[in-house]
Amino acid sequence: MLENYDLHNIMVLDIETVPQHSSHDDLPPIMQKLWAAKTKYQRKEETAEDFYANAGILAEFGKIICISVGMFTGGNGFRVKSFASHSEKELLEEFATMLNGRRSDLILCGHNAKEFDFPYICRRMLINGVKMPTQLNLHGKKPWEVNHLDTMELWKCGDYKNFTSLNLLAAIFNIPTPKDDIDGSMVGHVYWVDNQLDRISTYCQKDVIATAQLLKRFRGEELIPEEMIVFV
């Protein structure tokens, strides 16, 4: 089935998220109570304060600091671009403007994106008052009208109870690992403590490239040569 897709109409993306504040103490009192209630069963023996390092995974308490996208180009090439900013609204507006300039039937692809990236972007757009582009707006669409691909879902092969990380799939398909510098658990610290947004952007781009390479493997095709990957 994947061979029926036009690679040049697929945009691969990945997002990086962090807690909205540098520490639990900076949360407004009402949000501290809501955070404790929201995470009551997730944090088990951890306090709400200690568990706040995980706030980036929840759209109500986190924010997007980077969206990296990639498009397949002629001659087995791949073009990568990042939208990274301390201003989430600015980042989302630029990303939306880019999508609005593309075909409405553009296919969006990511790893575990149907569960995380796509809904997270939509929720943060709603919160920031950014109009949702057609490619992300699922309202009124039938399942077969939603142009979203998920490499984790493709790997499941119908198994709904299995989670497989991008890092593991990259390893078994002999794709260069995207986790050679930092991983997702370190992003909040690298952002709030080290103040290295560029480093996070680079990490996000590596995830996009790894996902694109995985898609190529799923299609039974050769990997994109490193020299054919262009950053813009």
Band (pLDDT 50/70/90 cuts) for residue 159 is confident
Instruction: Give residue 181's pLDDT.
Output: 78
Alpha-carbon span 211 to 93, nearest angstrom: 24
2-20+61-231 adopts what CATH topology?
A: Nucleotidyltransferase; domain 5 (3.30.420)
Q: Pick from 13, 54, 44: which is nearest to 208 by CA?
A: 13
Instruction: Give residue 210's pLDDT.
Output: 96
Q: Tokens 């994109």 map to which residue?
A: 224
pLDDT digits (tens, 9 = 90+) for 31-68: 999 999 999 999 988 999 999 999 999 999 999 999 99
The whole-number average pLDDT for the span 162-183 is: 87
What percentage of the chain has pLDDT greater than the value 70? 100
Mean pLDDT of the chain: 94
Band (pLDDT 50/70/90 cuts) for residue 91 is very high
Going across the sheet that includes 229-231, the strands are 148-150, 107-110, 10-19, 62-73, 77-84, 229-231
Return the number of other C-beta atoms located less than 10 Å from residue 126's C-beta.
12
Q: Would you kindly state where each structural domain of the chain is located, as residue ranges?
A: 2-20+61-231
Instruction: Give residue 165's pLDDT.
Output: 93
Q: Are 64 and 200 in contact (CB under 8 A)?
A: no
Q: Per-residue pLDDT for 83 more than 90?
A: yes
